[in-house]
Amino acid sequence: MARALYERYPDFSEGRMAKIRSHVVSRASCAVVARELGLGARLAERGEKQAPAEELDRLSRNRNVLAALLEASLAALYLQHGFEPIREAVVDAFDGRIVYALTSHVDHKTELQEELARQGKQVVYNVLDVQGPPHDRLFTCAAVIDGEEVGVGRGRSKKAAEQDAAREALDRLGVAA
């Protein structure tokens, strides 16, 4: 992905390119690509004889499972065919994620941290609540600046809840995201 981004956008700064690459290859993006390629459905079809249908359904929709499935599939393709024969197909599969990263604000935590650094401040994230069983958690986190809670977010992971809290903090501080 780094090579493809560099070739497509040679004028981008190293920092901007790193942010885009980080989003494009993130667990969340890999799960989206896996869904788009139908890997979850294939997992459910292939596993019908090994596991109960409800468990397969849950696994075939799980972000972490989908991301791992995509990574394993890409590794197998690489080992079988080498880099160059699969390069274009891999970049094409992630093209939607590249476009999304270019047109959407994808890293609120970094944006908030950079804004606060300019002001000589820092943000701390606190977990306010965790609900649900270990395989289906919902986290609530707060972004705290100078002892004041300026954003609260929720998500299926602590990181996602922190991103949501940072987004709310940016909104509240009037920083265009």
Instruction: Name the residue range of residue 122's domain.
Output: 108-173
Please compute the mean of the pLDDT values over residues 94-99 and round it to a whole number: 94
Identify the CATH number of the domain in which residue 21 sits.
1.10.1520.10
Please compute the mean of the pLDDT values over residues 108-129 and round it to a whole number: 92
Q: What is the DSSP string of 18-85?
A: HHHHHHHTSHHHHHHHHHHTTHHHHHHHHTTTTS-HHHHHHHHH-HHHHHHHHHHHHHHHHHHH-HHH
Q: What is the pLDDT of residues 51-80, one digit of tens each?
A: 777 787 888 888 889 999 999 999 999 999
Statement to judge: residues 17 and 35 lie in one domain: yes
Q: Which of 67, 84, 103 is the last residue of a domain?
A: 103
Statement to judge: residues 15 and 99 lie in one domain: yes
Is residue 175 scored above 80 in pLDDT? no
Please compute the mean of the pLDDT values over residues 69-98 and round it to a whole number: 96
Please compute the mean of the pLDDT values over residues 44-55 and round it to a whole number: 76
Q: Which of 77, 103, 129 is the last residue of a domain?
A: 103
Q: Indicate the length of the chain as a whole number.
A: 177
pLDDT of residue 176: 55
Statement to judge: residues 66 and 14 lie in one domain: yes
Statement to judge: residues 93 and 142 lie in one domain: no
Q: Which of 103, 131, 160 is the last residue of a domain?
A: 103
Q: What is the pLDDT of residues 9-35, one digit of tens each?
A: 999 988 889 889 988 998 889 999 999
Query: Helix, strand, coil % (nearest 5) of the chain?
Result: 65, 15, 25
